[in-house]
Structure 1
Amino acid sequence: MKMYSFNKNKKILLQILSDSNFHSGESLGNKIGITRAAVSKSIQGLQQLGFNIFAIKGKGYKLGAKLSLLDPNYFNVISSGRYFEILNVIDSTNNYIMENADKFKNKGDFCVAEFQSSGRGRRGNLWYSPFASGINLSVFWKFDRFVENYNRVSLVVGISVAQVIKSLGIDIKLKWPNDLFVSGKKLGGILVDAKGVFDDEIKLIIGIGINVTTTSNAYHLKQNNISQPWTDLMSHLSDGFVNRNELIKDLVNALEKNFKSFEKDEFKLSENWLKFDYLLDTVVNFKHKNKIHMGIFKGVNDYGKVIIQHSEGIKIYDEIIILK
């Protein structure tokens, strides 16, 4: 995947154009302190990043839709003592936290990026989101005691994300174990990396990827071999706008709330998962211990294990791979 550059001029341009009004090349140049030729070059660079920018003679430049850029001033207010970083371009936010353990060491510390060049999904799958069009969020968390079957954490994260998205009025579903679906199309996913698993402590990095507005970037998604049906939040909202800063705040707060409940053994995993289960009561083909099986998906239990109904009865599985 191509690694995009993003300099100060491009960022200021985006901030000005984010209102989706026309701005002349001259006015843009005056505000930034660069020539009209430099403005034109920066506009071309933004278009290469996937932005739909119109250039009309006599009117100037206009962004195809309103844009919500990540705002460090906003997070300074709502961080509540959490350490955070906002990155423009990075390979992976999960990797960044892993490589900067001296900074991200307290529960709820997080980083977000406008663009990931090497975003990862489960089992090494690619996660691609055009620049400034999604949520690329990683949160550090540690459990101060041993957690049986810590893979349950991924399900708690999924439920937390689903609760936030549901509050927007969107009918969100969770496809086991970590995919977010709306109207049968993928909206996002979750990746939990174990930084350290010990008898008395578990350190995890939780990656959350959500499409916020990708409709105008369909070409760039196709160019990066995103073949499965996908959707974004703005396509399912009547006003068609999401403030990504607000959404990130709500996601981090929801994680903290549910993790605290989970640590006290008060989180009702099975009951909460049932509210969003995409596969519930459907026939699934799945792989378990290198063998292919078929059954009816009946949800998960409070230990995060999968419940499958077979002709001979109910079986519980620790880990399965759902086949397409």
Structure 2
Amino acid sequence: MISGRQVLDERMMTLKDRVLKYLIRNKGSFVSGEKISESLGISRAAVWKHISSLRQDGFEIDSASRRGYMLIGDADIINPQIISDSLRTSFIGKKIIYMDSIGSTNDHIKSIAGGSTDGTVVIANEQTKGKGRMGRYWHSQKGDGIWMSMLLKPHIAPNKASIITQIAGAAIVKALDEFGVSAMIKWPNDIILNGKKLCGILTEMAAEIDRINYIVLGMGMNVKSDNFPDEISDIATSLYKEGHAIKRADIIRSIFENFERLYVDYIKNDDLKEVVEICRERSAVIGKDIYVITWSEKKKARALDISQNGDLLVEYKDGRKESLVSGEVSIRKADDE
């Protein structure tokens, strides 16, 4: 099920989108209805209609006689126009498809991957069938988080794609740093804050033997969630629960910018130096006793380091060492045998 679709694409923008874009460009200043109508080629009555609709969406728009309209604020609204305002990327997020409600952003972007451009992003206000690694359900409450998927079409060999999950992890912690949030990375795909899971990353790939058709990079972050289901209440958290009030659009914009920079360094220059440094410095597992989890078993080990290629080096109880390219680990509790 899909509802409330909005697309950020100059060719597909509605008149309401164009009015909002005009207000954003003049944020903090009054612009007359007459000037907006002349610039957009619509009547003043149509301007008023779209202003009223934007107010209903949650935008704070002041109005004054003989002065016009002024965008004051946007509350915590995920809107393609708000995200694109001052976005400094060359291709990530240049096309945004926003849904008020969707089954899964990963599933939707896979369904349109063939005809979509590199860097297209699908964002939802709610996921009803969100998923994590190994087919697990991902709690995605409406209006409480960031649920989005990026479409990537890199010209690299399929066996070099697994590191993209860690590039995303590094980008997320760098983005959160900008807002005073110091998060950690639990290799390979979880972002941890104060010992609890804040964000998960799910990477899926469609490829042939020697080439990648596309990669879908899904991210789910708990931003405003206050109550979690009983089964995850002890292991999950949100920015709000940890004392951080940050607008989702600002976080998304920062993730886009940090990800593009680190991703392009890898795709174009085969440079992972900064990514590996971040993953080491912000690792939640290095030096810890862990379980290495596969579909059929979980084995006790100790996490030793992260290699220059992003692999996790572990040592098992029998002294055998292994370099993990992908997989899942969990941190062992002090009372585990």
Distance 1:211 1:11 in 2: 26
Query: Residue 256 of structure 1 corresponds to which residue in structure 2?
Result: 260
**Identity over aligned residues, as a percent?**
20
Q: Which moved more, 1:279-288 or 1:157-166?
A: 279-288
**Alpha-carbon shift at residue 247 of structure 1 (Å):** 1.2
Amino acid at match of 1:315: E
CA displacement, residues 293-324 of structure 1 (integer Å, 9 cap, x when unaligned):
32221232122322113463643233443256
Q: Alpha-carbon deviation of 1:291? A: 5.2
Match of residue 93, structure 1, among 88, 93, 105: 105
Q: Work out which of the residue numbers 245, 252, 256 in structure 1 matches 2:249.
A: 245
Aligned alpha-carbon RMSD (Å)? 3.0
SS at match of 1:89: coil
Among 61, 72, 76, the alignment partner of 1:68 is 76
Match for 1:88: what amino acid? D
- Number of aligned residue pairs: give it: 266
Deviations 1:254-306 (A, max 9, x none): 11111111111112243221111101111112246845432221232122322
Give how far 1:169 is off: 1.4
Aligned to 1:105: 117
What is the alpha-carbon distance in structure 2 between the residues aligned to residue 289 and residue 14 of structure 1?
Answer: 45
TM-score (norm 2): 0.70
Q: Measured at CA, do residues 320 and 136 of structure 1 come closer, stay the same or move farther in structure 2, by a change above 3 Å?
A: closer
Structure 2 counterparts to residues 73-222 of structure 1, below 5 A: 73-77=81-85, 78=87, 82-106=94-118, 108-146=119-157, 148-215=159-226, 218=227, 221-222=228-229
Corresponding residue number in structure 1 for 2:305: 299
Which runs of 5 or more residues in structure 1 are unaligned?
20-65
Task: Say which of 277, 281, 284 aligns to 1:275.
Answer: 281
Match of 1:15 among 58, 66, 69: 58
Structure 2 matches for 1:46-65, cutoff 5 A?
none
SS in 2 for 1:308: strand
Mean Cα displacement is larger for which, 287-296 or 115-124? 287-296
Cα distance in 2 for partners of 1:72, 1:270 equals: 31
2:83·2:250 contact (CA, 8 Å) conserved in 1? no
After superposition, the C-alpha distances for 1:55-98 in whole angstroms (9 at most, x for unaligned) are xxxxxxxxxxx950112322454375622111100001111111
For structure 2, which runs of at least 5 residues remain unmatched after alignment?
6-51, 62-73, 333-337
Distance in 2, matches of 1:4 and 1:262, equals 34
Q: 1:299 to 1:10 in 2, by over 3 A?
A: farther
Partner SS for 1:91: coil
Distance of 2:150 and 2:209 partners within structure 1: 19
Give the AA of the match of 1:199: D
Which residue type is aligned with residue 191 of structure 1? L
Distance 1:13 1:285, change over 3 A: same
What is the identity, as a one-letter code, of the residue corresponding to 2:81?
A: N
1:136 and 1:209 in contact (8 A); partners too: yes
